[in-house]
Amino acid sequence: MTSQLLTVKQQFPSYRGKKRILLIEDNDINRMLLSDYLSYCRYEVQSFPEGSTFFDTIEDFKPDLILLDLKLPDIDGYSLLEEKQRKTDLKYIPVFVVSAFAFKADQEKAMKLGARRYFVKPINLTELVMAIEEELACQYL
């Protein structure tokens, strides 16, 4: 798996520096594992279990990409996506939804609200990193 990730990183020469990822995931184990894995892949990761600090964190941390769970204890991810879309200064930050909601209607709703990609848990980490790399490489074009 590590060799696959090295190959993935090499496919995107426009990737420069340590990119920042904001992870909003309420499940402690999922959040810890995903955060550790992304850190291992040399991303700078900030993670939170709730959405209440979402917009303050975006302003302070300035992420290059956001990974967002839809089912959060204090607010649903759809509401965060919708509000983010209304803020013109934040529209450019790509959001990938990582959710246990597997229905097509959930995916369509998230994409309609501005999500760039939708991953159903349990996720394939290699596919996730590959998608992150593709998205971040596009920012340099």
Give per-residue pLDDT as tens, 102-116.
999 999 999 999 999
Residue 101 in domain: yes
Give the pTM.
0.88
- Residue 141, in any domain of the structure: no
Q: Give the residue carrying structure tokens 């769970």.
A: 69
Block means of pLDDT (10 residues each) for the chain, length 141 residues? 49 64 97 97 96 94 97 95 95 96 97 97 96 89 60
C-alpha 104/C-alpha 72 separation (Å) is 20
Residue 102 domain flag: yes
Is there a domain that residue 109 lies in? yes
Residue 46, in any domain of the structure: yes
Residue entry with tokens 């930050």? 93
Total domains, the chain: 1
Domain carrying residue 68: 2-136
CATH number of domain containing 61: 3.40.50.2300
